[in-house]
Structure 1
Amino acid sequence: MYIHIGEDHMVRVNEIIAIIDKGSAGASGLAESGAAINLSKGPFKSVVVTGKNIYLSPLASTTLKKRSARMGIQDF
């Protein structure tokens, strides 16, 4: 199964390690890493970490959480 993380980009659900809100990501310095792929045309709202990439998403972490819950893939 896939989840849409913004700007026509889909990620396999089983590849997602973490979805972090902008505030937490900013404090960790994760968003400033050179490896991050910016999917947002403006400021990002969340960070999606996979085994291969780090994505800066224009979608809020709560929105991504709701999408994962709707698909029945959430373990929270």
Structure 2
Amino acid sequence: MFIHLGGEKIIRSSELIAIFDLSIEKSSKISKQFIAEATRSKKIEIIGEEECKSLVVTQGKVYYSPISSMTLKKRANQLLTN
């Protein structure tokens, strides 16, 4: 199964680790360190030109998605329940 993250980006649901609201990036010291390390390792991808609303962590990358974390979580949950 696949999850659409916005723009033309689709990931395998098996790669998904976590979905966060973008506000976590500024509210937690650990998340700041995580993002800094992902940036240093060039594992960050910004999807589309729209304002980013969520962070999607996968096995290989961290995506900044223009789709809200609630919408992405609903999509992921629909895959689990089907």
TM bucket, shorter chain? 0.7 to 0.9
- Counterpart-to-counterpart distance in 1, 2:4 and 2:26: 22
Aligned pairs for 1:1-76 within 5 A: 1-27=1-27, 28-29=31-32, 30=35, 33-34=38-39, 35-71=43-79, 73=80
Larger radius of gyration, structure 1 or 2? Answer: 2
Q: Residues 28-68 of structure 1, C-alpha deviation per residue, up to 9 Å, x if partnerless?
A: 22279423100031321000001101100000000001112
- Counterpart-to-counterpart distance in 1, 2:76 and 2:23: 21
- Counterpart-to-counterpart distance in 2, 1:59 and 1:32: 23
Instruction: Calculate the aligned-residue CA RMSD, in Å.
Output: 2.0
**Unpaired segments of 5 or more residues in structure 1?**
none
Structure 1 outlier segments of 4+, above 4 Å: none
Higher share of residues assigned helix: 2
**Unpaired segments of 5 or more residues in structure 2?**
none
Contact map agreement 1:3 1:13 (CA 8 A) in 2: yes
Give percent identity, aligned residues only: 37
Q: Which amino acid in structure 2 is aligned with residue 10 of structure 1?
A: I
Aligned residue-pair number: 73
Local SS of the residue matching 2:20 = strand
